[in-house]
Amino acid sequence: MTPSLGTVVVTGAAGRIGTIVREALRNEARQLVLIDRDPLTPQSPTERVICLDLANLDAVVSAFEGADVVIHLAGVPDEAPLANLLNGNVLGTFHVLEAARRQRVGRVVLASSNRVTGFYPVGKVVDPDDPVRPDGFYGVSKVAIEALGRLYADKFALSVVCLRIGSVEDSPDEARYLATWLSPRDCAGFIRAASTAPAVSFVTAYAVSANTRRFWSLDAGINLGYTPVDNAEDHAAHVPGAEEHVDSRAPQGGAYTNADYSLKHI
């Protein structure tokens, strides 16, 4: 395949989503620059690996030299003390955006989360334009990175796409995932579209598979150029609790909205 992308930088490349992106874009990018704190080994002539901590702004600026697209996946992945989330997610994203500005990167894709709206009821289909309702400190940190992305788009004309990523699993294995599942194939599709969609200033979109039970709008992602193809309902027969009634007033974040889920990190 002839590469359709230029130089693509992926932060958090050793993680679950980073691995999916690496495999999907390896043959499409002229060069794939893989950044992580954990060591990685190049698996093709197009790959280059850099071991660094995003806390080091100068190192991030250097790593982004020549980048056409930055896909920012690194960060604290779940509920944690707020100080850790501010340092790992918010400050890290600031360094990514600032390095992208200095290096004149054409597009930055930020990994946000569905948990920025976890307190909406399951009976409502949420659109990215709806006010945020984070379900914990992790969700708050993702609200902040979306705000940083918006600031860099408005103030510095950086092209930014925020993807509110669903539950990335090979297949759904719990009842909530019947609504929130994002298949690896659809994950790659959304990130590819976010990286290549033309004429983007700032966009926020939910990245979720075409699940029958989903409670997030697909419109913004489709407008970026990707329509998901997988549906968690195809796996429902094998998911425990799939047939149990769900109160339409229950929060979309499920267990993440419980007070104890956050209190243990205070």
| CA–CA separation, 168 and 151 (whole Å) | 28
How many whole angstroms separate alpha carbon 69 and alpha carbon 89?
Answer: 19
Q: How would residue 3 be classed by pLDDT, with cut points 50, 70 and 90?
A: low
pTM of the model: 0.97
pLDDT at 39 over 50: yes
The partner residues of 111 in beta bridges, in order of sequence, read 163
Quote the pLDDT of residue 2: 45
Averaged pLDDT for residues 122-130:
98
pLDDT in tens, 210-266: 999 999 999 999 999 999 999 999 999 999 999 999 999 999 999 999 999 999 999
DSSP reduced 3-state for 141: helix
1, pLDDT greater than 80: no
Nearest one of 31, 32, 149, 43 to 101, comparing CA atoms:
149
Q: In this structure, which amino acid lies at residue 128? A: P
Per the CB < 8 A criterion, the answer to whether 225 and 183 are in contact is no
CATH (one of 3.40.50.720, 2.30.42.10, 3.20.10.10, 3.40.30.10) for 5-263: 3.40.50.720
Sequence spans of domains, the chain: 5-263
Contacts of 172 (CB under 8 A, 6+ apart): 178, 181, 232, 235, 236, 239
pLDDT tens per residue across span 176-190 = 999 999 999 999 999
As a whole number of angstroms, the distance between CA 70 and CA 86 comes to 21
Residue 68 has pLDDT above 60, yes or no: yes
Residues tagged active-site: 138
Half-sphere exposure of 169 (CA within 13 A, CB side): 15
> What's the rounded Cα separation, in Å, for the pair 230 and 185?
8
